[in-house]
């Protein structure tokens, strides 16, 4: 692949990866430890990712268990979970914290699918913005020593890349929507 195109491919990959990571944090009625990815715990005054202060397991299909490496952190982890947008009340027995994932109602599932589709659209817009930036960059190259044919070839390749990423995002949205709607 042309090095002029490579930078835009890299940006589109990052946009796709960001969206995929964002989708992983959306809970779909099943216990998924990735819903905790954005949560930071106050660890001796430093906001620390929850995965770095304890062991996170899924002992049952609808339960996440967090075993802190230091018992003194239980209160801090609970506080971080309550302040987060996960929407699950933690319970602890003094050793571990349990998060029981409630069944999603049909209405909530539909709301989540709408949210997924909205985020998917935002992802596609990000990819198209990268394409626009690429086309602008190629037009600037035309003023230098790059032939018109090369510019057309670069723009065509960039459009193919854009189509590929848009299709990948649509597939990702479809898979996540299906996962959410599956009871």
d(CA 107, CA 91): 26
Give me 46's structure tokens. Answer: 């430093």
SS3 89: coil
d(CA 75, CA 85): 18
When pLDDT is averaged across residues 103-114 and rounded to a whole number, the result is 84
pTM: 0.71
Checking if the pLDDT of 87 tops 80, the result is: no
| Beta strand spans in the chain (E) | 40-43, 46-49, 54-60, 63-68, 91-92, 97-100
DSSP run (H or E) holding 172: helix 148-181
* pLDDT single digits (tens) 35-50: 788 888 888 888 888 8
Checking if the pLDDT of 2 tops 60, the result is: yes
SS3 138: helix
Q: Quick one: pLDDT at residue 29?
A: 66
Checking if the pLDDT of 86 tops 80, the result is: no
Q: Residue 171 CB: number of other CB atoms within 10 A?
A: 11
* pLDDT single digits (tens) 12-36: 999 999 998 888 777 666 777 887 8
DSSP 60: E
């Amino acid at each position: 692949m042309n090095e002029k195109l490579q930078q835009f491919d890299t940006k589109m990959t990052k946009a796709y990866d960001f969206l995929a990571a964002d989708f992983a944090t959306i809970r779909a009625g099943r216990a998924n430890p990735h819903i905790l990815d954005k949560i930071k715990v106050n660890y001796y005054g430093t906001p620390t990712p929850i995965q770095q202060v304890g062991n996170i397991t899924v002992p049952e299909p609808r339960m996440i268990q967090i075993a802190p490496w230091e018992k003194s952190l239980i209160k801090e982890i609970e506080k971080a979970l309550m302040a987060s947008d996960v929407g699950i009340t933690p319970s602890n027995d003094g050793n571990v914290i349990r998060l029981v994932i409630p069944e999603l109602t049909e209405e909530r599932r539909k709301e989540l699918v709408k949210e997924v589709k909205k985020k998917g659209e935002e992802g596609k817009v990000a990819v198209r913005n990268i394409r626009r930036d690429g086309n602008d960059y190629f037009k600037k190259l035309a003023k230098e020593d790059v032939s018109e044919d090369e510019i057309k070839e670069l723009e065509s390749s960039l459009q193919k890349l854009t189509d590929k990423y848009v299709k990948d995002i649509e597939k990702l949205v479809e898979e996540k929507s299906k996962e959410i709607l599956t009871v």
